[in-house]
Amino acid sequence: MRKNIIAGNWKMNKTPQESTQLVEETLQLLAKENIGETIVIFCPPFIALERVAGLVKGKKNIFAAAQNCHWEKSGAYTGEVSAAMIKAAGAAYVIIGHSERRLYFNETNEQLAKKVNAVLAEGLQPIYCCGEPLEVREANKHFELVAQQIKEGLFHLSKDDFSKVVIAYEPVWAIGTGKVASDEQAQEIHAYIRKLITEKYDAATAANTTIQYGGSMKPSNAKGLMSQPDVDGGLIGGAALVAADFVGIIKSA
């Protein structure tokens, strides 16, 4: 059965030194809690990835992730980092297609499909992001857009490969805005995504897929969102930068 996954996406925050501090503080708080089978992931900037992976190495259900990768293994791609390098740094997951990458770096579903392939080829797991901007929701076209993101980015995969994918639904209008989707809005679209997976693969594959919610998740709203039947954890931005808040969310999973 699928697991709840709480991932802290630090974005372009924290130096290597600050990353060590934040992970150590979070681990100290976590040590006092019983978080059951919940998986916890830290997603620091590349420059701190190896050290964060080292800090969580061997810890049950705690992993490091990169926030992006290139689809080639190596080569003349100045400024880029490959999935092979991320694996060598000790990470287990890679966020692919975050809305900030789609928006500010013009990443397309076609490119993201190649990144997903590169991640899987290294034996890592992609956390594939989808979600609609405000104008798309207001035009009631969010189901269509999310379906397109999922189909074009993921549905070329075999069932076996797809079973390693984590999906994060993140409505763009809720990211960093303090405006969170209601529990019902989140449940509605998560159930829709699960239906798409059933149609493409089968019900068992859909039931086993972790679908996280992301967008202004905080300790105060985490419980309501994650108690929805199809919401399996969260991709957390701002609140993951404060150890007590991140742990507060993890406890709600």
Give contact residues for ligand PGA (rule: CB under 6 A).
Answer: 9, 170, 175-176, 214-217, 235-239
Task: Tell me whether residue 166 or residue 201 sits nearer to ligand PGA (CB atom).
Answer: 166
98 is catalytic: yes
Which residue is closest to ligand PGA by CB?
A: 237
Tell me how far apart the alpha carbons of residues 198 and 190 are, in angstroms, rounded to a whole number: 12
Shortest distance (Å) from residue 64 CB to ligand PGA: 16
Task: Tell me whether residue 43 or residue 116 sits nearer to ligand PGA (CB atom).
Answer: 43
Expressed in angstroms, the distance from the first to the final Cα of the chain is 15
Shortest distance (Å) from residue 174 CB to ligand PGA: 6
Tell me how far apart the alpha carbons of residues 188 and 186 are, in angstroms, rounded to a whole number: 5
Shortest distance (Å) from residue 240 CB to ligand PGA: 7
Catalytic residue among 98, 100, 142, 190: 98
Pair of tokens at residue 38: 């919940």
Pair of tokens at residue 250: 């993890």
Tell me how far apart the alpha carbons of residues 239 and 8 are, in angstroms, rounded to a whole number: 8
156 is catalytic: no
- The answer to whether the CB of 96 falls within 8 A of the CB of 117 is no
* Cα–Cα distances in angstroms (integers) from residue 103 to residues 31, 91, 98, 199, 204, in the given order: 37, 25, 9, 29, 33
DSSP bridge pairs for 217: none
Shortest distance (Å) from residue 203 CB to ligand PGA: 28
Task: Tell me whether residue 190 or residue 201 sits nearer to ligand PGA (CB atom).
Answer: 190
Task: Tell me whether residue 85 or residue 217 sits nearer to ligand PGA (CB atom).
Answer: 217
Residues noted as catalytic: 98, 170
